[in-house]
Amino acid sequence: MTPKRLRELTGRYGKLRIAVVGDFCLDRYLEIDPARRERSLETGLPVYNVVRVRAQPGAAGTIVNNLVAAGVGRIHAVGFCGEDGEGYELRRALAGLPGVALDDFLQTPCRRTFTYTKPLVMEPGRPPRELNRLDLKNWTPTPRGVSRALAESVRRLATELDAMILLDQVDVAGTGVLTAEVLRAVREALEREPDLLVLADSRRGLRGFPAVLWKMNVRELGLLLGARRRLSGHALVAAALRLAQRNRQPVVVTLGERGLLGAWPTGNHWHVPAFPVRGPIDVVGAGDAVSAHLMAALAAGATPEEALWLANAAASVVIHKLGTTGTATPRELEQVLRGGGPAAGN
């Protein structure tokens, strides 16, 4: 890909309308100064003094962050938060992002705001070191009223969009945004708008999801197809192609340090090798960056090879941003290109 082609594609992003439907969470970072370590007089346990607190949208919010960084013109956040302090912070953070519409982002007393609390030890001259994470999650089924409202948002928005991204981040099915009712609304929307680009990603696997562009890792692909051993080489390619042809939709497999594999129902496939590592890395958020940049590129008219390359370049950018769940801008993607990144190929 040439810099000119990169600018041509990303130059179209400002006219795109993309919805992110899924589990939004608050990423709250607690920066700890180890030089101020104390011991509690009451318990005798170590005390970690937090000297800075920062928060940003996470999970589905990370996809939104990347779409904003890419320059997408209109981004519809479809999800919920609770009527709590974390919900206030999450909604405020989303509202501060350019081009993000919150008309379909619900605030409800029936749900706790999904929160990842990440204590970071900040030592001079060293990358941030994360301690045990503290999570706030919902473990009960999403109330019917909330699910119904989200399903209606999906049906209404589908006629106005260039693309939709679905992210299922919860541990227990039915406790987040992508309930059976919302997934049914996606299927109904696709019956009316069969050309709408939709990507789905779920940490629990995509069994039962509508047949759209499925993004997954190698383990998830193997579990979905009932493979007896970890897929690799020709067997991995064959499995991805078999699933793509069965669904009549593309399949994108993240390969970690080996890059990305894309299989299309036409029988074509492309492997985009990972870019070289340039120092310490943090892989958190890389998959969400792939989802955002892949769909923005496809919606802008990129070929599958080009879209995979852009998504892979975005992952390379964000893994080198430590102590945060990073994003990638078109300028940073061009820097990766000028650094001599690998080309896609069959």
Domains of the chain: 3-37+45-338 (3.40.1190.20)
Query: 3-state DSSP: the chain helix, strand, coil percent, rounded to 5?
Result: 40, 25, 35
> Residue 259 region, left (φ>0) first, then alpha (ψ -120 to 50), else beta?
left
What is the rounded distance in angstroms from the CA atom of residue 170 to the CA atom of residue 286? 18
The dihedral sign for the CA sequence 324, 272, 244, 228: negative
Tens of pLDDT, residue by residue over 87-111, are 999 999 999 999 999 999 999 999 9
Cross-strand bridge partners of residue 167:
22, 201
Structural tokens at position 153: 């948002």
Q: Which residues of the chain have pLDDT under 50?
A: 340-346
Give the max Cα distance, the chain. Answer: 68
Tens of pLDDT, residue by residue over 203-260, are 999 999 999 999 999 999 999 998 888 899 999 999 999 999 999 999 999 998 899 9
In this structure, which amino acid lies at residue 10?
Answer: T
What is the rounded distance in angstroms from the CA atom of residue 26 to the CA atom of residue 62? 10
Query: What's the distance, CA 15 to chain centroid?
Result: 21
The pLDDT value given to residue 306: 96
The pLDDT value given to residue 302: 97
CB atoms within 10 A of CB 226: 6
By the 8 A CB rule, do 204 and 173 touch?
Answer: yes
The pLDDT value given to residue 345: 33
The pLDDT value given to residue 341: 38
3-state secondary structure of 301: coil
What is the rounded distance in angstroms from the CA atom of residue 151 to the CA atom of residue 142? 12
The pLDDT value given to residue 291: 97
Q: Which residues contact 266 (CB under 8 A, 6 or more apart)?
A: none
> Residue 170 region, left (φ>0) first, then alpha (ψ -120 to 50), else beta?
beta
CB atoms within 10 A of CB 102: 16
The pLDDT value given to residue 303: 97
The pLDDT value given to residue 343: 36
